[in-house]
């Protein structure tokens, strides 16, 4: 449907809906439930240079309006993703996919991005400098403008495809970090990743998660995400992908009014695996309700 189409960093998308990394696996699991080609695209599971088993269990804690996770970037490593996961995905998804990349050094990020950049299936590289639940990497690169810019420059040197830097909300000034990434050559900004959260078991009097703290996601963080998307979209000239607590067509429109060109849906996929399909199907009706002809016309409309 033409009225749902958007363009993200030069690539046309049938709609702006993107299942977020870490909530949609490598896609083919959800393809058993519905035709995932209905999606704009999706961001696959965070991939690192080397295989990772992830954090010790328990890794998940429930909250009244969300969840806390400390999975710890469990993945088979970039070589296996390219050799095994992407060919399997190609059997059920015929669009460009967004590759989500994490690392523990600037060299790690550059190595993994360079490998994935050569894959025809990959349309965008979403570089995660914001993972709050691994030690010695991830968020440490996303909490200062200088470090985020250093990763951006290193990745841009070895890639040809659009690079989106995924930012952490666990900072005092997200705008300065976004602007530093833009100046370093980023093609877009993704935000927000999870907030840092914690739950304590009252009987054991110990943290529920073995990692003690983890990423807090779900509908409770939506207002924080909207605020940060609004701030960043008003400060940079590159596209913004908004996420954080999105679970309805109304949420998608609100994110786009804040300045998002596309919108990722994360924790809601773990509650309802059909949520992205249902949001896409509901969008035209919701647009009619608010007098919206095309989604393109509302991007940044609240500024």
Number of domains observed in the structure of the chain: 1
- Assigned domain for 303 exists: no
- Assigned domain for 51 exists: yes
- Assigned domain for 99 exists: yes
Angle, nearest 10°, between helix axes 174-183 and 222-233?
Answer: 50
Q: What is the largest CA-CA distance in the chain?
A: 55
Q: How far, CA to CA in Å, does 190 sit from each of 32, 107, 115, 129, 215?
A: 28, 21, 21, 10, 16
- Assigned domain for 87 exists: yes
Report pLDDT for 221.
98
CATH code: domain of residue 185: 3.20.20.70
The helix/strand/coil state of 163 is strand
Report pLDDT for 1.
86
Instruction: Tell me the average confidence (pLDDT) per consecutive run of 10 residues in the chain, 303 residues long.
Output: 96 98 96 98 97 93 94 94 97 98 93 98 95 53 88 97 96 96 98 95 97 95 98 98 98 98 97 98 98 98 98
- Assigned domain for 71 exists: yes
Report pLDDT for 143.
81
- Assigned domain for 125 exists: yes
Instruction: Please give the residue range of the domain that contains residue 238.
Output: 2-298
CA distance 299 to 7: 11
CB-based burial label for 175 (10 Å; 0-12, 13-18, 19+): middle
Report pLDDT for 142.
78
Strand (E) or helix (H) holding 201: strand 200-201
Sheet holding 195-197, edge to edge: 60-63, 66-69, 214-217, 195-197
Asked if 151 contacts 141 with a C-beta cutoff of 8 angstroms, the reply is yes
- Assigned domain for 68 exists: yes
Active-site residues: which are they?
A: 131
């Amino acid at each position: 449907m033409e009225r749902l189409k958007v363009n993200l960093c030069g690539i046309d998308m049938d709609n702006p809906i993107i299942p977020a990394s870490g909530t949609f696996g490598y896609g083919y699991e959800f393809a058993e439930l519905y035709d995932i080609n209905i999606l704009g695209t999706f961001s696959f599971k965070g991939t690192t240079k080397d295989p990772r088993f992830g954090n010790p269990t328990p890794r998940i804690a429930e909250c009244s309006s969300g969840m806390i996770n400390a999975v710890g970037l469990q993945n088979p490593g970039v070589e296996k993703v390219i050799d095994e996961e992407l060919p399997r995905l190609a059997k059920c998804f015929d669009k460009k996919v967004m590759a989500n990349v994490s690392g523990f050094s600037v060299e790690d990020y550059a190595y993994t991005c360079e490998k994935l950049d050569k894959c025809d299936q990959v349309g965008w590289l979403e570089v995660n400098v914001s993972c709050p639940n691994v030690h010695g990497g991830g968020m440490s690169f996303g909490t200062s403008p200088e470090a985020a810019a250093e990763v951006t420059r290193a990745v841009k040197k070895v890639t040809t495809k659009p690079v989106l830097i995924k930012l952490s909300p666990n900072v005092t000034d997200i705008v300065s970090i976004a602007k530093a990434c833009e100046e370093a050559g980023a093609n877009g900004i993704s935000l927000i990743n999870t907030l840092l959260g914690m739950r304590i078991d009252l009987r054991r009097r110990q943290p529920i998660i073995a990692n003690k703290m983890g990423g807090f996601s779900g509908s409770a963080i939506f207002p924080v995400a909207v605020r940060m998307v609004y701030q960043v979209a008003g400060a940079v000239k590159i596209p913004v992908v908004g996420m954080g607590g999105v679970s309805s067509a109304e949420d998608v429109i609100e994110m786009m009014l804040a300045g998002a060109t596309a919108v990722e849906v994360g924790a809601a996929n773990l509650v309802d695996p059909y949520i992205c399909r249902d949001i896409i199907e509901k969008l035209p009706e919701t647009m009619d309700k608010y007098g919206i002809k095309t989604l393109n016309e509302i991007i940044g409309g609240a500024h």
